[in-house]
Structure 1
């Protein structure tokens, strides 16, 4: 650094580069470099990435992960299974922890592939999404696991609920009937998660749909962006209205007051809109 300071000082004093090079015993290009430098702060050392024993295998792991995207999530490759395949089929001498880190990193990088994009879904006031959720209640003096049928109205972000004994077409139709009567009307369209009984298009549900004249559709498989909001609404209602687990002696009486309690949760402004959720819900209703 003292020599650099001398070179720059001599340059400021008007000496030629040839004179500076001769006096400092350095080459002309070296003098030119130091005279032109704007940043003389020391550069932090660059850490060189050490090679890993898993480096030859990412293309193979990525291929397995890509194939998994079209498979049922419970039948996809786990990190342990990938490690076993690399060890047994490819002779890889690599630890399970190293493979686990590599699988996690590659999974994050491929979560959204180039060209993939999601846009906000546009919902009308008379459209709803519906899903089931589990909840423990004190029914007849004993803890019993029951189901909550939750239709969510995305336009207003209001979710309603009915407590049901099971997750099937009969329960879905009864819950919808009770809510139609409370609403005083029927949504134009309802998007269902693949709820048991509804997704399989049972004759009961088809007859119910024909009777009340609403359209229905199912979420796309493995499309979390389509059903994440209604799943969040199911969880929110559980936390707000079912913690701690309520005592239920008559499910019918309990359900009769449940929509009003759900509506009371809508006193806050709707995200990205200026009005309260309850006001927007009243518009749709």
Structure 2
């Protein structure tokens, strides 16, 4: 049955429990744990292990950004909030900020605050297919970016990279960073007076995380970032104005066309 699994559809293969049930019908009187142990050992000896290639990133060249959800208590009200995370691929330094929603203004403002915290702008940032950045998905690998997002990244002069659907490994660093931040910065559930207090808590947690050592790195996150910082693009003299804008036509009374006072 174990050998037959290689020829069966992936979702209809024998499990350890199913093999145990069949063996019981044949007269087997041992335990299921013994069958599971043999099942695991057989697969280990007869199947090639998964191979992974560690990635190395040049300083300042790459970053990843994504959203995640978390629970916090704000002014006595328990609520779900959106967590913006940006992660530098070389130093593993992270920036985390909470927002009430994933509106485009929040998306841009998260970038602006992250750039200020990082002391520069990464040359390329990878994203999922976020609606705040991608207006309409094109065929194949192409993406049609939201025009407002194009204006934003043109202001900071960074390149955007959009991952393929269901290809989480393309930005696995930030996805792991979202989960790390939620489990380490949001546990126990924060109970604060305002979003400002919550974001101050998250910023302090990020700064404390700079002291951590990461596997395969000979220095702390903060020390790696000090080497990475001068390789980023310089910040512009003024931060981008993160607000929603709309065009309106006024009538002769300097009122928006189509609106009437009551």
Output the CA distance in 2 between the equivalents of 1:280 and 1:268: 11
Equivalent pair of 1:158/1:263 in contact (CA under 8 Å):
no
- Give the TM-score of the pair, scaled to structure 1: 0.58
Within the candidate set 77, 87, 94, 1:152 is matched to 87
| Cα deviation, residue 163, structure 1 | 0.5
Post-superposition CA distance 1:94-134 (Å, at most 9, x none) = 99x749x9xxx9xxx8xxx99x9653222122121111111
**Residue 231 of structure 1 corresponds to which residue in structure 2?**
175
Q: CA RMSD in A?
A: 3.6
Separation in 1, partners of 2:120, 2:102: 24
Higher relative helix content: 1
Q: Do 1:168 and 1:198's aligned partners in 2 also have CA atoms closer than 8 Å?
A: no
Unaligned runs of 5+ in 2: 22-38, 136-144, 230-262
**What is the TM-score normalised by the length of structure 2?**
0.62
When you count strand as a share of all residues, which structure comes out higher?
2
Match of 1:203 in 2: 147
- Which residue number corresponds to residue 158 of structure 2? 214
* Residue in 2 that maps onto 1:11: none
Give runs of ≥4 in structure 1 deviating > 6 Å: 54-58
When residues 57 and 238 of structure 1 are mapped into structure 2, their CA distance, relative to the original with a 3 A threshold, is closer
Runs (5+) with no aligned partner, structure 1? 1-51, 66-78, 84-93
Aligned partners of 1:256 and 1:55: how far apart in 2?
A: 56
Structure with bigger RCO (C-alpha 8 Å, 6+ apart): 2
Shift of 1:241: 1.3
Alpha carbons 1:129, 1:153 under 8 Å: kept: yes
Cα offset, 1:164, TM superposition = 1.3
> Contact 2:126–2:171 at 8 Å: present in 1 too?
no
Task: Count matched residues.
Answer: 199
